[in-house]
Amino acid sequence: MGRAASARAPAHASDAETRATTDHHAALRVWLRMLATTTLVEGHVRGLLQSGFDTTLPRFDLMAQLERAPAGLQMGELSRRMMVTGGNVTGIADQLERDGLVARSADPDDRRALRVKLTAAGRKAFKAMADAHEKWIVAALGTLDHAELATLAGLLARVRAHVRTKYGERP
């Protein structure tokens, strides 16, 4: 076995983390571990949303944005918050509207814009999904106790603040 192969961090063969070796900077190895872990948890959540609710993560994300804005949001604001194109938001909103989970109407403050909001059925469906989602995330991070979760959250907040200061917010 070559030096690079023996120096690899233990991880599943498809993890981004497997690209790093002990020769790489610790910051790169941590970044790849965070990426691999996020990808693993996200894939698990995607599967559970599909099997449990016959929905997708983008639909869940759009509904989560609307749940936080009871008066609804303009399509452009949804696009900005979700960091996807307007076309993506339109496609997701079309599906959710066909399913009776969101409604679109003219924005009273801007006649050129459409406002999207959850329907009563959408609020009920999202509540069930959000409750399950929280349980899935709690289970995924279940190996960490309260103090460890607080430490991890604090460390990630420091990194986020540093990146925002150094590079600014992504448009």
Give the confidence band of 153 by pLDDT, cuts at 50, 70, 90.
very high
Interval 146-169 mean pLDDT? 94
Give the confidence band of 170 by pLDDT, cuts at 50, 70, 90.
low
Residue 78 has pLDDT above 70, yes or no: yes
pLDDT in tens, 89-129: 999 999 999 999 999 998 888 888 889 999 999 999 999 99
The confidence score (pLDDT) of residue 10 equals 46
Query: Rounded to 5, what percent of the chain is helix, strand, coil?
Result: 65, 10, 25
Interval 5-14 mean pLDDT? 44
Strand order in the sheet with 102-107: 73-74, 110-118, 102-107
Q: What is the DSSP letter of 112?
A: E
pLDDT in tens, 23-75: 778 899 899 999 999 999 999 999 999 999 999 999 999 999 999 999 999 99
Residue from 1, 110, 24 nearest 9 by CA: 24
* CATH number, span 25-140: 1.10.10.10
Domain boundaries, the chain: 25-140
Length reported for the chain: 171
Rounded Cα distance, 132 and 138, in Å: 10
Residue 133, SS3 per DSSP: helix
Rounded Cα distance, 19 and 28, in Å: 10
Residue from 75, 126, 64, 76 nearest 99 by CA: 126
Residue from 101, 80, 89 nearest 171 by CA: 80
Is the separation of the CB atoms in 61 and 45 below 8 Å? no
> Where are the extended beta strands (E) located within the chain?
73-74, 102-107, 110-118
Give the confidence band of 169 by pLDDT, cuts at 50, 70, 90.
confident
Count how many Cα atoms sit within 13 Å of the Cα of residue 124 in the half-sphere of its side chain.
Answer: 6
The confidence score (pLDDT) of residue 8 equals 41
Higher-pLDDT residue of 32 and 21 is 32
Is the separation of the CB atoms in 15 and 36 below 8 Å? yes
Residue 151 has pLDDT above 60, yes or no: yes
The confidence score (pLDDT) of residue 38 equals 94
